[in-house]
Amino acid sequence: MLKAKILFVGPCESGKTVLANFLTESSDITEYSPTQGVRFESCWPALMKDAHGVVIVFNADIPSHRKEMEMWYSCFVQQQSLQDTQCMLIAHHKPGSGDDKGNLSLSPPLNKLKLVHSNLEDDPEEIRMEFIKYLKSIINSMSESRDREEMSIMT
């Protein structure tokens, strides 16, 4: 069985923990409480080691989050030589914030990435299905890579 290491990164208060818990069915959606997480950039290389994918979560309603996304993409995707297909953007809409999907334009290179809107209050299953599709693509890529490696050993 293949195991994939997927990182959830993004600005503070963007919804990373709530989404990760929901997608892994770890807990019910509860009130916000800040996650300690890894707030220091000096720890990031250890986190990134052997990562197969990166999910960048941001709150689309906070303008500064959109500006920060390029930094997250640069550090966690480009500098790790991951493919764009290994990255997913989630525009998380917190309960009661509305769900303005049509008003989000991203600059290059972010506009090439898979962008999914999440609203756990209105349509929780949509984000679950999108994440499963993303995870399947990561697993397929890992499987193909493993198969190529095995073939190169045998030849």
For residue 19, give the nearest of 65, 63, 56, 72 by alpha carbon: 56
- Is 141 contained in some domain? yes
Q: Which domain holds residue 145?
A: 6-154
What integer pLDDT is reported at residue 91 of this predicted model? 94
What integer pLDDT is reported at residue 36 of this predicted model? 65
Burial class (CB in 10 A: 0-12, 13-18, 19+), 75: middle
What integer pLDDT is reported at residue 33 of this predicted model? 62
Diameter of the chain measured on Cα atoms: 58
- Is 31 contained in some domain? yes
What integer pLDDT is reported at residue 129 of this predicted model? 95
**pLDDT by residue, tens only, the chain of 155 residues:** 789 999 999 999 899 988 998 998 865 555 556 666 666 888 888 889 999 999 999 998 888 898 899 999 999 999 999 999 999 999 998 777 765 565 678 888 999 999 999 988 888 899 999 999 999 999 999 999 898 989 999 87
How many structural domains comprise the chain?
A: 1
Strands 114-118 and 87-92: parallel
Give the other-Cβ count within 10 Å of 136's Cβ: 10
SS3 content of the chain, % helix, strand, coil (to 5): 45, 15, 40
- Is 41 contained in some domain? yes
- Is 38 contained in some domain? yes
CATH for 87: 3.40.50.300
Yes or no: say if 6 and 138 are a contact pair by the CB < 8 Å rule.
Answer: yes
- Is 1 contained in some domain? no
